[in-house]
Structure 1
Amino acid sequence: MTSVETVAPELIEAAVRAAEKFGRDIVDVPVSAIAAEAQMSRSTLLRRLGGSRGVLDAAVRAAGIDPGGRPPVRVRALTAAAELISENGLAATTLDIIADRAGCSVFSLHSVFGGRDELLRAVFDQYSPIRDLEDYLAAMPDDLGATVHGVYRTIADTLSREPRVAPAMLAEVYSRPESATVQSLTRYAAPRTLSTLGAWFEAEIRAGRIKDQPLLVLIQQLLGPIVVHMLMRPAFPDALDFMLPDIDSVCEHLTTNFLAAVAM
């Protein structure tokens, strides 16, 4: 009789991959789909499991992966990683402590993401401003000033929400720019950011609304002020002789400054 301990790791990995493809808990994935992922027939899979699908689900649970009844490992891991990055910084967020917070095994993280770099890229996709900017610029107003203000507001909202993943990642970029983790994230994020903002800037330059300057300079002039302000803002609490301006006022002033610098 097949026991939990004798279930081959490749069958557990096949179950995890099939669940990811279907977007379901492992217990809800048909045996035939898991068999196909394992490159064998349904009957062969059941024979290797001693005829019981429950043995596979138990083996999955024993490997630290919840086969059902909780959010998928991917969701739990992204949430855990985001919280830990916000609390302790990027460098201190290891796979071991992510797995512990997410209630899964390091093996399951490798099964779902492939490694730490891939997991951090998924966290970046979910919590950085880039996705919000892409959505905003896809439906931006036909007015340069309104668009710039909207960009600033979008970034401000992203950098101020909890968990504070984007500020923690930016802090790592500034403090350890040559680290392997930062280099990996930069190689992933920079082309996407350049593409998103570059397409907009190039259209504005062709339309004669923005001065023809190097793309990187334009992006730095746009993003630099709001990023610096949002990173420093929590360090300057309200005081009797120093009241922080509200975010909308900051965005309005930065918009005026940017337009004065680059608008035709």
Structure 2
Amino acid sequence: MASSDLHGGSAPAPDRLVGSDRVLAVLSALAKRPEGATLDELAQAVDSPKSTVHRALASLRRANFAAQLGRGVYVVGDEFLRLALENQSARPEGRAVEPVLSRLSERFGETAHYAVLDGDEVVYRAKVDPASGSVRLTSVVGGRNPAYRTAVGKLLLSTSCGSVDELAAVVGTGPWERRTANTIGTLDALWSELQLTRERGWAVDDQENELGVNCLAVPGHFGPGGAMSGAVSVSALAFRTPLAALVQSVDEIRSIVDARPTGPQ
């Protein structure tokens, strides 16, 4: 039962977007629509009246975080993109990660990723595709996947969850969606996989997130003083680089990741 803002001290409903939260929600919705979005589409996306979304857009446009194209279509502004790209490229881990991913991609002719854990999902912070090859992976920097069905996710969960109860607190108790016949769908099966991952120091995705794509992940020590900050993976098309070939090369993969030049601390 949405109504106009009340005055006189009544708190807004917990699920209503107000003030800066509304502006950030509109910016987030806009960022998910690189082709642009109309006022109607944005109002529907953030479940707010068009008048309030229009005010949020006005604030974003004043900061050059949003821009209006012809026919009432809005897009993310150049200033926001500049700040985001500048921040990403200037991060110490980013400067250290990119050369590593480039070497892995060149060596194996496949895609290399760097990812971190965010709750029960992984977020891809960096990606390097092979220079050649007509078939590429659809992953994108900033993209997310459920941790339970990715190699980087299982590697990171194995280091952050010391018990099955801790694991359940992060990913839930399941069962989870099985994207393929190989996808782990239960908490017990995932915990067993994480124990094995912890013992050997690397994780695999045997076509669990996407048919035809397998992956091997190792720790990425790009934090201050060489602390583990995320996971690095080689994600390969199964017909081109079978999982067994990645497993046979795990020592080489780890040596490439660990031999990175020391970045700013």
Q: Which of 1 and 2 has greater Rg? A: 1
Which one has a larger percent strand, Structure 1 or Structure 2? 2
Asked whether the two chains share a fold, i.e. TM above 0.5, the reply is no
TM-score after normalising by structure 2: 0.33
Which one has a larger percent helix, Structure 1 or Structure 2? 1
